[in-house]
Amino acid sequence: MKGTCIHGSGMVTLLSGERLPISNVSIGMIIKTANKDNSISFNKIIKIPHHYNNEQATFIMITTDTNKQILLTPSHLIPICNLDVITTQELDIGDCVFTIDGKENIVDTQKVVLYGVYTAITNDTYIVVNDIIVSPFSIYTKLIL
């Protein structure tokens, strides 16, 4: 899979309110998502491109001003507050991203090498991981799906 996606420790929220690592989701589960206008809802997982794996990848740990954190690969896509969608590696300190609590600014980014890359695809535009709205796609997965 070439190490493009979300680290397996990223937590998604099920319709029941239970939180589960994205590495443990399965097709048919209903998770918190967002549409292109960043309105929060819940949608069924229809595809899981990366099943359980121990693939090594470089991740960028993003931290917001309310201390929300997420680990995404550099080519993973994320919507920013001007409604553009950019890769994680294009994010800068001070950039604004969407969370379940509204707009938040990036206060720190750090590169780390970890194992396990995951994503989940629904019929909605975005998924919510660690309370941050992200695309389920990276540039690599967007091109192959």
Judge whether 96 lies within some domain.
yes
What span, in angstroms and rounded, lies between the C-alpha atoms of 66 and 50?
A: 30
Q: Please report, in tens digits, the pLDDT of each residue of the chain (145 residues total).
A: 455 799 999 999 999 999 999 999 999 999 999 999 999 999 999 999 888 888 899 999 999 999 999 999 999 999 999 989 999 999 999 999 999 999 999 999 999 999 999 999 999 999 999 999 999 998 864 444 4
User: Rounded to 5 degrees, what are φ and ψ at 4?
Assistant: -125, 105
Judge whether 137 lies within some domain.
yes
- CB-CB contact of 98 with 34 (8 Å): yes
What span, in angstroms and rounded, lies between the C-alpha atoms of 145 and 123?
A: 14
CATH label of the domain that carries residue 132: 2.170.16.10
Instruction: Identify the domain containing residue 87 by its residue range.
Output: 6-144
| Overall domain count for the chain | 1
Give the pTM: 0.93
